A and B are shown apart, each in its own frame.
With several copies, the nearest count.
Chain A
């Protein structure tokens, strides 16, 4: 067992997978000598050489598109997008190539690629260093979309992604990189893609969240329990394909649900989760499916009070839960 931060979990997952399988390689901006702007790839170029840890030019189209090409001929690329804000130039390659090459070729070509994307707010990053943009990939069949909230999941899911045969968008929340630690087993382990985690059982209401919002929800629960409200807390972990069964079972049990999402509300992942709950287990609901989300303004303005106002937090979650409980 070793106490490990979220970012160390990611680094070690890459190091172990690279040692295990020589077809795994990394490409991205500043990931080599520098070890990445957040140091996620620290030491890896020393260990695995410049051929397997490639400092790319500022070319997000190529970082992803070149990785797809390499994946077609036997490699398992792990490209890094330095900030989720800069994934927009790669949309063409992700959507039109990675997500569809298996489909359009009737399964002849496959794309085992894991794009690591550093994302998320509450770091004073403003409009261009706080974005997530997970909803775009969530709506694209052919992609796997992951967002771990804990070091264990970060390591286990990243390993599953790298070993898998599908293109994965792997979101890492930069606010979590150094703020959370966990004891991780020394032996090799993976976390299955497609399974949500019930982090806490409860009976009055279900909270569904992912990424940083899982931690905000945890915070909210402390205060809610003081008021005698028993919350079941689900961390989605895999966004696509999302784990309907686990979420539905929980909501069937509690009959009430609050969905928490960091990104702007309209058209987000929780819109789907909410719509699906209403569509498929309507009869079990005793109150409206309620969302706590970022504001419907560009994610997110720079000045600290504006950033704070934009983001969901424990206080907002508590209020929403109480409203649903009192419904």
Chain B
């Protein structure tokens, strides 16, 4: 027993993260997974409108870099960043209210589900135009430099989004001015139905950093501890004014592009192979090894989170949509009210 504990301690040391960090990462990872699976189910039951983009399978790529950020640090997300929303601390009820587009959502039901954002928590609600928030986040980093603040910005995007011109312009600018930003590419091998091999003639999108004069690195995106460490180092570096990093996280989405996509463009064995690399069970295996988790503890945790989620869903579903007149608000500042039309 004592020997075992010593062993755990040493592997804990090896991993180079505090127990608190490890448990924090795991807690957010698990919460993200359970929330995501729940939302998938609710969508399939027709409980909310629009569509749903699941991030199941790639949660480590968002939870890992986000964990430990300050509120004033800014995230420019894309459409699979539920993990960033959870980890940066947007309350569950707000996340779910946004998905359900209810009156109690801070966006009043105007944004699309999965376009998670929060001013208070420093996440820019995405527009759907891919890599759009990469450009905006770079602009935030530019502002931090002008303001001489040591905040950082984090931009998330899929490998597909790196084909966009605006992405290039943003990274080029960040390189020139050594901006405090970290770029996280979630290479999940597919952009909707298009394989990464038709997205670029290079295997690793981290290589694109060479064109911008800052380092790029490709890592196992399903190892949450590794992702966190590499990202935390890059973030620390950025905070010190030493410039951007592009981190390519190799990962995989388990399900379709959105919940209406059967994803039959992918081979089943590819899916199976990647399911074996599940970031959640991998984290759990480590925690078991470290002696930080037991099956009972895990089940208790799952139950507690599920209850939280369930309670939040019930709270949200009881709230109606905004009244139609809400459509007229938030177009401009109060100086310029929109003209009402009557027929």
Contact = CB atoms under 8 A, between A and B. Distances in A.
Interface residues of A, number: 86
A325 B332 CA distance: 35
Contact of A69 (B142, B151, B192, B324): B142
B70 to A, nearest CB: 13
B110 A92 contact: no
Contacts of A70: 139-140, 142-143, 146
B192 A93 contact: no
A56 interface: yes
Interface string B194-217: 100011100000000000000000
A72 to B, nearest CB: 6
B339 A296 contact: yes
B322 A302 contact: no
Contacts of A102: 330-333
A275 interface: no
B328 A297 contact: yes
Contacts of B169: 57, 59, 61-62, 65
Contacts of A128: 112, 127-129
A298 B338 CA distance: 11
A209 to B, nearest CB: 15
A34 interface: yes
Given A62-B166, A241-B336, A86 B129 contact: yes
Q: Which of B118, B120, B169 has the most CB of A within 10 A?
A: B169
B333 A323 contact: no
Interface stretch (A6-14, A105-113, A229-237, A246-254): A105-113
Interface in A281-308: 292-293, 295-298, 300-306, 308
B244 interface: no
B331 A103 contact: yes
A109 B146 contact: no
B91 interface: no
B306 to A, nearest CB: 27
B128 A68 contact: no
A69 B76 contact: yes
B10 interface: no
B333 A164 contact: yes
Q: Is the interface of B mostly helix, strand, loop or mixed?
A: loop
Interface residues of B, number: 80
Interface stretch (A25-33, A180-188, A200-208): A25-33
A102 B328 CA distance: 12
A301 B338 contact: no
A96 B129 contact: yes
A71 B139 CA distance: 8
Contact of A106 (B106, B140, B193, B328): B106
A75 to B, nearest CB: 5
Interface in B227-280: 265
B112 A73 contact: no
Contacts of A106: 105-111, 330
Contacts of B105: 106
A121 B130 CA distance: 20
B49 A304 contact: yes
B132 A73 contact: no
Contact of A97 (B118, B132, B330, B341): B132
B88 interface: no
A59 B166 CA distance: 8
A59 B49 contact: no
Interface string B90-134: 000000000001100111111111010111100011011110100
B124 A72 contact: yes
A92 B335 contact: no
Given A59-B172, A61-B165, A295-B328, A75 B143 contact: yes
Nearest to B199: A57
B324 A308 contact: yes
A303 B322 contact: yes
Contact of B321 (A25, A298, A306, A316): A306
A148 interface: no
B156 interface: no
B196 to A, nearest CB: 10
Contact of A124 (B49, B128, B151): B49
Contacts of B328: 295, 297
A305 B146 contact: no
Interface in B133-154: 135-147, 151, 153
Contacts of A306: 109-110, 321-322, 324, 326-327
Given A69-B138, A73-B74, A92 B132 contact: yes
A124 B164 CA distance: 26
Contacts of B142: 54, 66, 69-70
Contacts of A320: 343
A55 B139 contact: no
Nearest to A109: B119
A71 B119 CA distance: 13
Contact of B146 (A51, A142, A165): A51
A75 B146 contact: yes
Given A58-B161, A92-B129, A103-B110, 11 more contacts: A29-B194, A56-B194, A59-B164, A61-B135, A74-B143, A86-B128, A104-B107, A126-B111, A295-B341, A301-B109, A316-B343
Interface of B: 49-50, 74, 76, 101-102, 105-113, 115, 117-120, 124-125, 127-130, 132, 135-147, 151, 153, 160-161, 163-166, 169-170, 172-173, 176, 191-194, 198-200, 265, 321-333, 335-336, 338-339, 341, 343
Interface of A: 25, 29-30, 32-34, 37, 51-52, 54-62, 65-75, 77, 83, 85-86, 88-89, 92-93, 96-97, 100-110, 124-129, 141-142, 144, 164-166, 193-194, 241, 265, 292-293, 295-298, 300-306, 308-310, 316, 319-320, 323
28 contacts: A30-B193, A34-B192, A54-B142, A57-B194, A59-B173, A66-B170, A69-B139, A69-B140, A70-B139, A70-B146, A75-B147, A77-B139, A86-B128, A97-B132, A105-B111, A108-B125, A124-B49, A126-B50, A128-B129, A164-B335, A165-B333, A297-B327, A301-B326, A304-B101, A305-B322, A305-B324, A319-B343, A323-B343
